[in-house]
Amino acid sequence: MPLDSQMQDILDMLDGLNIPPNETLTPEEAREWRKTRPIPQGPEVGKVSNVTVESEGVAIPVRIYQPTQDGTYPILVWFHGGGWVLGNIETADPVARRLCIQGKCVVMSVDYRLAPETKFPGAVEDCYAVTEWAAKQGHIYGGDPDRIAVGGDSAGGNLATVVSIMAARAEEGPKISFQMLIYPVTDYDFDTSSYNDNAKGYSLTKAGMIWFWDHYLTGPEDSKDPRAVPIHDPDLSGLPPAIVITAEFDPLRDEGEAYGQKLLENDTPVIISRYDGVIHGFFSMAPALDKASIAIKEACDAMNQWM
C-alpha cells in the first residue's frame, strides 16, 4: 500500500525539520535535535504525580496518570521508546495521557536510565524494579495490584516483553496480566524483509537501529542474551496475553510479528495487528494521524478484555 495521506503529511513535516540522521550524531547531539521535534499536546487526565522509585541505589523517576473519577483501576506500567538512547517521560507524556483515558487505567510512565551512559541491562533492571514497585504501591494511586499490564513502544516494547518474562520466571515476581507491545524490538537481525524494504526513507532506518543497538549493548555477546533479544528466549511459555501492533513501513515489522507468532505457538493468547500505510512511531502521532487514535483504542480494548 502507499503511505496513508495523513502519514505522508507528517513525514513531509519531519523531513522539513532537517534533523540529521541519528547515526551521524553523538547521543548527546541526537537528544538535542530531538527537542526540535514538536510533541503533540495530550488530553487532560484526573491527576498527574511525579514520584521517584528507589532500587539498589538508583533513583528512577516515574510519572503517574490517574483517571478523573475516583475508583480502583488496572495499572499499565509504560516504557517509552527511543532505542534505549533517546526519549523520556516528557516525550511519552501525550501517549501516556491517551492510554490513561482510553484504557481507563492508572498509567505509570518510567524514566529508565538511558544508554550509552547506562548500558544493558540497566534499563531492564529499572523497568522491572518499577513494575515490582507498582505491584506493592500501586494501590496508593487508585491502582489494582492484581491487574497489572506492561507496555511500551519500540525499545519500550522490548523492555515490556523482557519484564513479562522475568516476572513469569521469578518465584515472587509481580503478577502481570497483559502485554501491550507496540512495534517492539525483539530480535538482533538486520536482514529481514521489513529491514530490507524499509531501510531508508521512513524515519527509523536500518543504520539508525544499528546505531541504537551499538550504544545499548556492551558488546556482541549481549545480543545472545534473551533479556536483550527476547525472541530467542528458550522458554516463552506461561506468559500473559498480549497485543502486538506493527506498522507496514517499519524495519521492525517482521520481528514484532514473529514474536507474536512465537507467543501463539506457546499457547499465549495474542492479537497481532498490522497497520498499513504508516511508519515506525505512528502510535504516538494522535491526533494528527487517525490511525494512531484507532491503534490506541485497539490496544486499550485488548488490555481491558484480559484485565
Domains, the chain? 5-306 (3.40.50.1820)
User: pLDDT digits over 172-199, tens only?
Assistant: 889 999 999 999 999 999 999 999 999 9
Residue from 111, 254, 280, 284 carrying the catalytic annotation:
280
Residue 156: CB atoms within 10 A of its CB come to 31
pLDDT over threshold 90, residue 1: no
144 assigned to active site: no
Query: Which residues on neighbouring strands pair with residue 78, listed in sequence order?
Result: 109, 151
- How far is C-alpha 42 from the chain's CA centre? 17
Q: What is the model's pLDDT at position 101?
A: 98
State the catalytic residue, choosing from 93, 187, 250, 254.
250
Active site residue 154: yes
Annotated active-site residue 139? The verdict is no
Choose among 121, 81, 78: nearest CA to 228.
121
Query: How many whole angstroms separate alpha carbon 224 and alpha carbon 209?
Result: 17
What pLDDT is recorded for position 189?
97
- The burial of 243, by beta-carbon neighbours within 10 Å (0-12 exposed, 13-18 middle, 19 or more buried), is given as buried
Which listed residue (154, 164, 203, 284) is catalytic? 154
What pTM was estimated for this model as a whole?
Answer: 0.97
* C-alpha–C-alpha distance, residues 254 and 53, integer Å: 35
Q: For 136-165, what is the mean pLDDT?
A: 97
**What pLDDT, on the 0 to 100 scale, is given for residue 307?**
87
Structure confidence at residue 36 (pLDDT): 85
| pLDDT of amino acid 255 | 98
